[in-house]
């Protein structure tokens, strides 16, 4: 399924809102801020995870201590362009690694 730039931005915006809502439910000191399609997650240990949109490539990018990941939208989900891991799985893995405790966001 190919999406246009407008659909892409809408999907990313909804995803960021969903992540923020899930982070609000956690009671473990993780904080975040978002601005113009970029969500920065501040971990208790001062590390960060950054999620942002790359509109020109129609990709969702995730930057974490373990590396940088690029996700393409297909079949109503985001998949890493190298490993095919879903964005949700990658984000939960990175959050868990950087928090040194299991974190599971329930993203749709």
The answer to whether 105 and 93 are in contact (CB under 8 A) is no
Residue 8 pLDDT grade (very low, low, confident, very high; cuts 50, 70, 90): very high
Q: Cβ(18)–Cβ(104) under 8 Å?
A: no
79-92 mean pLDDT: 97
Q: Looking at domain 5-99, which of 3.40.50.720, 3.40.50.150, 3.30.920.10, 3.40.50.300 is its CATH number?
A: 3.30.920.10
**Percent of the chain at pLDDT above 70?**
99
Q: CA-CA distance, 13 to 15, in Å (whole number)?
A: 5
Task: Give me the residue spans of the domains in the chain.
Answer: 5-99
Q: What mean pLDDT do residues 22-40 have?
A: 92
Nearest CA-CA partner of 107 in 33, 25, 37, 32: 25
pLDDT for 45-78, tens place per residue?
A: 999 999 999 999 999 999 999 999 999 999 999 9
CB atoms within 10 A of CB 1: 7
pLDDT at 1: 58
């Amino acid at each position: 399924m190919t999406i246009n730039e407008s659909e892409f931005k809408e999907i990313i915006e909804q995803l960021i809102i969903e992540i923020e809502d899930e982070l609000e439910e956690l009671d473990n000191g993780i904080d975040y801020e978002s601005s113009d399609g970029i969500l920065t997650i501040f971990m208790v240990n001062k590390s960060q995870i950054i999620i942002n949109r790359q509109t020109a490539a129609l990709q969702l990018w995730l930057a974490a201590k373990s590396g940088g990941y690029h996700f393409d939208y297909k079949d109503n989900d985001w998949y890493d362009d190298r490993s095919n891991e879903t964005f949700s799985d990658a984000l939960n893995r990175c959050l868990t690694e950087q928090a040194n405790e299991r974190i599971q966001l329930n993203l749709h």
